[in-house]
Amino acid sequence: MKLSSLSPKGILHRVRRKTAVQSIQPGDPGLPKHVAIIMDGNGRWARKRNLPRTAGHEAGLQIVREITQECVRLGIKYLTLYAFSTENWRRPKQEVSFLMNLFYQSLQEVTTDLHHEEVRIRFLGNIDQLPPKLTALIKEVEAQTAQNQRLTLNLAINYGGRHEIIQAVRGLVQKAQEQGLEPEKITEDQFTRFLFTAGQPDPDLMIRTSGEQRISNFMLWQTAYTELYFTSTFWPDFGPAEFRAALAAYKKRSRRFGGIKEGRRK
C-alpha cells in the first residue's frame, strides 16, 4: 500500500511505527530479557502460494535463524521458540516425519555457527520420546553449547504446558517424600526448580504470529504476567522488522505484576 492511498491518520501511524521500530537499539534497557514465540502460520503461508505445507516449514526455518541473530545483536538473553507441541503428533504422519527430519538437518547445519556466536541451545519437552537419532543429536548439541552465555535459545519440541506442570509436580512430590517436606512449606520457588525452564527468568514478552489469539498450552506457569503480542503476519514473513515492531510495542506497556502504577489509585 502506498502512502498516498492512506488517510492522514494512517500516514501518521505508519511514520510513528517506523520511528518506534528504528528506536530499537542493542543494549536498550527497555527491551525484554526473555522473549517467547509461538511460530504459527507456516501451513497457511504455503497454501496461499499453492505450495505444500512442508515448504512453509522450510521457509519458517530461515526466520528462526534471522530472529535468533537479531536477539544476539540486540542483547536479548533468552529466546524460547515453540517448535513442536505434544498435540502436533496428531498431524499427518508424512508431515510429522518431515518435521523430525527438518529438525535433525537444521541442527546439524546451524549448531556450529550458533556455537561460534556464543549461543547456548536448550530443549524443552520430552526429548526421549523423539526419534532416537534426533534425541542423540539434541543431547550432543546441548553439551556442545552448554557454556555459552550470550543468548540461551530454548527450542520447545514435544512440549506441552500442562504436561510440564504435571512433570514438575511429580518431581517435587518425590523430593518432598524423600526429604520429609511438609506440604504447607512447599513454595513457588521450589516448584519452578522442576520446570523445563529451571534457572531462567519467565518470559517478559510472548509473540504469536498468524492472527490466532491464544497461547495453545505453551509455558502456562511461566507466562502468568507475560505481555502478549499478536500479529496477523504468518511466521515465514515475520522478519527482523516485524520483530522490532513487537519489541517497540512491548516498550510501551506498563507492567504492574498485579500492583498499581505509581500515581494511580485504581
**Grid coordinates belonging to 13:** 501511524
CA 18/CA 95 separation, integer angstroms: 38
**Grid coordinates belonging to 22:** 528504528
* Residue 196 lies inside a defined structural domain of this protein: no
pLDDT at position 180, please?
A: 87
For the chain, how many structural domains are there in total? 1
Q: What is the mean pLDDT of residues 104-110?
A: 96
Query: Catalytic positions, please?
Result: 40, 88
Q: DSSP string covering 131-189, please?
A: -HHHHHHHHHHHHHHTT--SEEEEEEEEE-HHHHHHHHHHHHHHHHHHHT--GGG--HH
Q: Which domain holds residue 209?
A: 31-159+203-251
pLDDT at position 266, please?
A: 41
Domain containing residue 64: CATH number: 3.40.1180.10
Q: Which residues, other chains included, contact 146 with Cβ-Cβ below 8 Å and sequence gap of 6+?
A: 120
* Residue 173 lies inside a defined structural domain of this protein: no
* Residue 24 lies inside a defined structural domain of this protein: no
* Residue 177 lies inside a defined structural domain of this protein: no
* Residue 63 lies inside a defined structural domain of this protein: yes
Percent of the chain at pLDDT > 70 equals: 89
> pTM of the full predicted structure?
0.89
Q: What angle do CA 220, 32, 123 make, to 5 degrees?
A: 50
* Residue 57 lies inside a defined structural domain of this protein: yes
| Contact (CB, 8 A) for 172 and 194 | yes
